[in-house]
Protein backbone atom coordinates (compact mmCIF):
# COMPACT_ATOMS: atom_id res chain seq x y z
CA UNK A 1 0.00 0.00 0.00
CA UNK A 2 0.81 3.74 -0.07
CA UNK A 3 2.24 3.83 -3.56
CA UNK A 4 2.87 7.14 -5.29
CA UNK A 5 3.78 7.39 -8.95
CA UNK A 6 5.28 10.23 -10.95
CA UNK A 7 5.39 10.80 -14.65
CA UNK A 8 7.64 11.35 -16.47
CA UNK A 9 10.64 9.96 -14.64
CA UNK A 10 13.03 11.96 -16.78
CA UNK A 11 12.56 14.87 -19.14
CA UNK A 12 14.89 16.95 -21.24
CA UNK A 13 13.55 20.15 -22.72
CA UNK A 14 14.70 23.33 -24.39
CA UNK A 15 14.92 26.60 -22.53
CA UNK A 16 11.65 28.51 -22.65
CA UNK A 17 9.35 25.52 -22.88
CA UNK A 18 6.92 24.33 -20.21
CA UNK A 19 7.02 20.93 -18.58
CA UNK A 20 4.19 19.19 -16.73
CA UNK A 21 4.87 16.57 -14.07
CA UNK A 22 2.11 14.32 -12.75
CA UNK A 23 1.92 12.85 -9.27
CA UNK A 24 -0.60 10.12 -8.50
CA UNK A 25 -1.48 8.25 -5.33
CA UNK A 26 -2.28 4.78 -6.64
CA UNK A 27 -3.92 3.01 -3.72
CA UNK A 28 -5.07 5.75 -1.39
CA UNK A 29 -6.74 9.12 -1.46
CA UNK A 30 -4.68 12.19 -0.72
CA UNK A 31 -6.25 15.53 -0.04
CA UNK A 32 -2.77 16.93 0.48
CA UNK A 33 0.27 16.42 -1.69
CA UNK A 34 3.63 18.12 -1.55
CA UNK A 35 6.17 19.14 -4.17
CA UNK A 36 9.88 19.16 -3.39
CA UNK A 37 12.98 20.02 -5.33
CA UNK A 38 16.41 18.59 -4.68
CA UNK A 39 19.67 19.77 -6.20
CA UNK A 40 22.67 17.40 -6.30
CA UNK A 41 24.09 16.61 -2.87
CA UNK A 42 21.59 18.92 -1.19
CA UNK A 43 18.60 18.25 0.98
CA UNK A 44 14.95 18.28 0.02
CA UNK A 45 13.43 21.71 -0.38
CA UNK A 46 9.67 21.98 0.00
CA UNK A 47 8.29 24.08 -2.83
CA UNK A 48 4.58 23.99 -2.18
CA UNK A 49 1.70 22.18 -0.57
CA UNK A 50 -1.02 21.08 -2.95
CA UNK A 51 -4.57 20.82 -1.66
CA UNK A 52 -7.37 19.14 -3.56
CA UNK A 53 -9.94 21.66 -4.64
CA UNK A 54 -8.09 24.75 -3.48
CA UNK A 55 -5.06 26.84 -4.28
CA UNK A 56 -1.60 25.58 -3.49
CA UNK A 57 0.41 27.07 -0.67
CA UNK A 58 3.86 28.09 -1.80
CA UNK A 59 6.95 28.32 0.37
CA UNK A 60 8.78 31.59 0.65
CA UNK A 61 10.89 32.32 -2.40
CA UNK A 62 9.06 29.96 -4.74
CA UNK A 63 7.43 31.74 -7.69
CA UNK A 64 3.84 30.61 -7.93
CA UNK A 65 3.51 31.91 -11.50
CA UNK A 66 6.48 29.85 -12.59
CA UNK A 67 5.58 26.63 -10.78
CA UNK A 68 1.90 26.04 -11.41
CA UNK A 69 0.22 23.43 -9.25
CA UNK A 70 -3.15 21.86 -9.85
CA UNK A 71 -4.71 19.27 -7.55
CA UNK A 72 -7.77 18.28 -9.53
CA UNK A 73 -8.70 15.08 -7.72
CA UNK A 74 -7.96 13.13 -4.57
CA UNK A 75 -5.34 11.09 -6.42
CA UNK A 76 -3.70 13.52 -8.82
CA UNK A 77 -1.58 16.64 -8.50
CA UNK A 78 0.38 18.25 -11.32
CA UNK A 79 3.32 20.61 -11.31
CA UNK A 80 3.98 22.68 -14.41
CA UNK A 81 7.32 24.39 -14.74
CA UNK A 82 6.61 27.29 -17.06
CA UNK A 83 9.23 28.87 -19.31
CA UNK A 84 11.89 26.55 -17.96
CA UNK A 85 15.49 27.70 -17.81
CA UNK A 86 18.71 25.77 -17.15
CA UNK A 87 18.67 26.82 -13.51
CA UNK A 88 15.38 24.94 -13.12
CA UNK A 89 17.18 21.69 -13.85
CA UNK A 90 16.72 19.58 -10.75
CA UNK A 91 15.16 16.48 -9.24
CA UNK A 92 11.48 17.15 -8.55
CA UNK A 93 9.78 14.84 -6.09
CA UNK A 94 6.18 14.73 -4.99
CA UNK A 95 4.78 13.17 -1.86
CA UNK A 96 1.30 12.42 -0.63
CA UNK A 97 -0.25 12.20 2.79
CA UNK A 98 -2.98 9.59 3.09
CA UNK A 99 -6.35 10.92 4.21
CA UNK A 100 -6.63 8.00 6.61
CA UNK A 101 -3.43 8.07 8.57
CA UNK A 102 -0.94 10.20 10.40
CA UNK A 103 1.39 12.83 9.08
CA UNK A 104 3.68 10.45 7.24
CA UNK A 105 4.32 11.30 3.62
CA UNK A 106 4.89 8.77 0.87
CA UNK A 107 7.17 9.86 -1.92
CA UNK A 108 6.96 9.33 -5.63
CA UNK A 109 10.05 8.14 -7.50
CA UNK A 110 10.91 11.66 -8.68
CA UNK A 111 11.31 13.41 -12.01
CA UNK A 112 14.71 14.49 -13.23
CA UNK A 113 14.37 17.64 -15.28
CA UNK A 114 17.17 18.85 -17.53
CA UNK A 115 16.70 22.16 -19.31
CA UNK A 116 19.09 22.77 -22.16
Alpha carbon distance 22, 104 (integer Å)? 20
Return the residues of window 73-102 that contact another protein according to CB under 8 A. Answer: 93, 95, 97, 102
Rounded to a whole number of angstroms, the minimum distance from the CB of residue 18 to another protein is 23
Binding-residue total with another protein (CB under 8 A): 21
Buried b (16+ CB within 10 A) or exposed e, 32-57: bbbbbbeeeeeeeeebbbbbbeeebe
DSSP three-state, residue 109: coil
Which of 43, 87, 93, 42 shows the shortest CA–CA distance to 63? Answer: 87
Q: By CB under 8 A, is residue 60 in contact with another protein?
A: no
Single out the residue of 5, 49, 70, 82 in contact with another protein (rule: CB under 8 A): 49
Q: By CB under 8 A, is residue 108 in contact with another protein?
A: yes
Rounded to a whole number of angstroms, the minimum distance from the CB of residue 17 to another protein is 24
Phi, psi for 7 (deg, rounded to 5):
-145, 135
Which residues bind to another protein, rule: CB under 8 A? 32, 34, 42-44, 46, 49, 51, 57, 93, 95, 97, 102-110
Amino acid sequence: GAVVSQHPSRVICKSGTSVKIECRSLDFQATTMFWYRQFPKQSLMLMATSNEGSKATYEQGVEKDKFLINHASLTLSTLTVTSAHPEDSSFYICSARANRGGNEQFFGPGTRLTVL
